[in-house]
Structure 1
Amino acid sequence: MERSMFTNEVILSWLQYFSQYVDINLAKLKMLDITGKNKNLIPAIMCNRAVLVFTDAGHPEIFYDMWNAELGDCVIWYNEGSDPCGEIKHDKVSDMINRGINYSAAMLILNPNAATNYQIGIENSRFAKGSVHYVCREARVVIMNKLNLGDQDNICVISGESIAVEAAIIAAEGSVIAVEYDRRDYNTMKCNVEKFGLNNVTIVESLEDGALDDLSVPDIAFIVASPRIGSEIKSLLAVNPAMRFVVYSLDFEILASLPALFRENGLERTEAIHIGVSRVNSKNMMERFPAPWVVSGRSIIG
């Protein structure tokens, strides 16, 4: 189990310190320890009005990253030192972008514009522009529902950039492996990771040559189907024989091959759904989006 320098006793002392100066409801306070790896600070701030952050040294661009994520109006309450005592200060993020953190400390971040009603289905306009053609948000909502992720799940996402982003936000205590074969898509995925402040995403170029050996073992895989899907399923089952799969396909021939492919690899299909989305835009014109099949499967073992 990963240990932190911020024990329960230390956390309670910081809570008491900040509560003396700031009018906050402790019952609604989000606490986040980013001294360990893979902790997503920016999404937590976006979705909570008050976040108590425990951090160590070595975050020279933490406030610049927050400002770059359009969180410049957030107010940071902090002190100069590693202990919960002494004078307390507060400044907007926009006034702190040239500062870093050089010692272990705690800071209280207040975000009056937090999207506390966050739901899956991020607007496509928020993703990084690049080579990727993102699935429409309505279809993504259905896909995320079928993935049914928990906050500690580990997921492998193959060629599904927007799915990787939403999965990383939901599985905040887990991890995401984003497989991007195309260099342009790799770069777009990297931009999305930076844009959303995702520290629990690892981008790899393939499943070959032991690419997953030193990474967290995925519990579930999301695959945008391609002619490689057979080898992808085999590679993932070699890592975790009990892995669940959700496959997205617009290709009829690949879709038709899935039942045999599942049987060949000891998987059973649990569900297959067809998603059709049409939308009337602001000019009263009908917009039709690609209508994929989403097929779920799991290992027969156990």
Structure 2
Amino acid sequence: MSSPLWPYVTPGIPDDLFERLPGIPMSQREVRLLLVSHLRLCSDSILWDIGAGTGTIPVEAGLLCPKGRIVAIERDEEVASLIRRNCDRFGVKNVEIVEGSAPECLENIQHRPNRVCLEGGRSIKTILKAAWEHLDLQGRVVVTASSLEGLYAASESFSELQVRNIEVVQSAMNRLEKRGMNQTFASVDPIFVLSGEKLE
């Protein structure tokens, strides 16, 4: 699937092409590239993005999985509308938006996932455990953490759930930005990305 706004087969849509709302988190392009690479998407993947925020991951995944289904889960009605607008903006048609709080709303989702993306947030252990029960065998899970507490909760959950083939990376990237008359490197917020597989 391609979009007139992003007619390329590679991920990494520039941040400024997305509509944004003040105070609503957005995975920056460099972090998104890490997440997408760890998800290891196929053309027909079924991905649950829990806490989808601005909708950058659903848009990227929707373009990369033309035969797949992306379920964007978001509890806030205004934010869910933003995701819908960003999907429309890029002409992405295979994203289903579920308005509700995880883990309660997960029970009612029709499409069982083979990929799960959980971007930090509160109740990470409860949500991850519930999502894990729905995840297909051989499926993959990717979780982000921006704090030491979040990293600890995610890694503890991975251990309890017996996630296999675990990988953990921390991003450390800088962007060249113009400030006044000078160009300087500004850091992209560092984040931990944990990924693994469900093999039993």
Matched to 2:88, the amino acid is E
Alignment partners' CA distance in 2, 1:130 and 1:151: 30
Matched to 2:11, the amino acid is I
2:104 is the alignment partner of 1:198: no
2:191 is the alignment partner of 1:292: yes
CA deviation digits over 1:185-243, x for unaligned, max 9?
Answer: 21211111221222211111234555554522110101111222112122222223523
Q: 1:279 aligns with which of 172, 175, 181?
A: 175
- Where 2:183 maps in the other structure, the secondary structure is coil
- Where does residue 254 of structure 1 map in the other structure? 150
2:71 is the alignment partner of 1:177: yes
Q: Sort the Cα spacing of 1:264 and 1:45 in 2 relative to 1 into closer, same or farther, 3 A.
A: closer
- Where does residue 116 of structure 2 map in the other structure? 221
Alignment partners' CA distance in 1, 2:177 and 2:37: 25
Structure 1 length-normalised TM = 0.58
Greater alpha carbon shift after TM alignment, 263-272 vs 152-161:
263-272
CA deviation digits over 1:83-134, x for unaligned, max 9?
Answer: xxxxxxxxxxxxxxxxxxxxxxxxxxxxxxx83x442100111111224332
Q: Sort the Cα spacing of 1:286 and 1:154 in 2 relative to 1 into closer, same or farther, 3 A.
A: same
8 Å Cα contact 2:2/2:9 also seen in 1: no
CA deviation digits over 1:159-204, x for unaligned, max 9?
Answer: 2321111001101101001011223321211111221222211111
8 Å Cα contact 1:262/1:269 also seen in 2: no
Query: Percent same amino acid among aligned pairs?
Result: 21
Structure of greater relative contact order (alpha carbons < 8 Å, 6+ residues apart): 2
Matched to 1:199, the amino acid is K
Q: Sort the Cα spacing of 1:267 and 1:176 in 2 relative to 1 into closer, same or farther, 3 A.
A: same
Gaps of 5+ in 2: none
Instruction: Indicate the structure (1 or 2) with the bigger Cα radius of gyration.
Output: 1
2:10 is the alignment partner of 1:119: yes
8 Å Cα contact 2:43/2:68 also seen in 1: yes
2:91 is the alignment partner of 1:187: no
8 Å Cα contact 1:154/1:174 also seen in 2: yes
Gaps of 5+ in 1: 1-42, 47-68, 70-113
2:2 is the alignment partner of 1:44: yes
Matched to 1:249, the amino acid is A
Alignment partners' CA distance in 2, 1:266 and 1:211: 21
Q: Displacement of 1:135 after TM fit?
A: 2.2
8 Å Cα contact 1:269/1:295 also seen in 2: no
* Root mean square deviation, CA, Å: 2.2
Structure 2 length-normalised TM = 0.85
Q: Deviating runs (4+, > 4 A) in structure 1? A: 208-212
